[in-house]
Amino acid sequence: MLFLIAIPTNFIAQNHFTVEVTDLVSDKGSVYFGLYNKKRGFLNDGVTIANAKVKTTGNRVSYTFKNLPVGEYAVAVYQDVNNNGKCDRNMIGYPIEGFGFSRNYRPKLSAPNFDEVKIAINQSTRTSISLVSK
């Protein structure tokens, strides 16, 4: 006997999210990508659902997060120019290495919240982030 089970397609549909980062310090260090899928803990250490590190070659890099379920996602990136494994900051906490967020959000006085930078993913999607420099 053959049984067919109805499974909602959003549980089996796997999507890709490609993030291109531009305006890098050419050929220096690596770019770190952090992918988030919820408001709670956004931008906190250990809350990402996926991370990636891509060596900088030229002045742009890209990375594709694969097999994501349908949902809302946000990306934060930074270029670790000096290869010390962190986004260096000045005395008041502002990054001194290039950084950016999905939807190419440009912070004014503080980091964005999840809703300001989230992108709905329901198929393969691309976004571009131009780094904010010091």
Q: What three-state secondary structure class fits 49? A: coil
Domains in the chain, ordered, with CATH?
9-130 (2.60.40.10)
Full pLDDT tens readout for the chain, 134 residues: 444 445 454 455 589 999 999 999 999 999 999 999 999 999 998 899 999 999 999 999 999 999 999 999 999 999 999 999 999 999 988 899 999 999 999 998 889 999 999 999 988 999 999 999 86
Tokens of 124: 């393969």
Contact 24, 61 (CB under 8 A): yes
CA distance 50 to 14: 15
pTM to 2 decimal places = 0.87
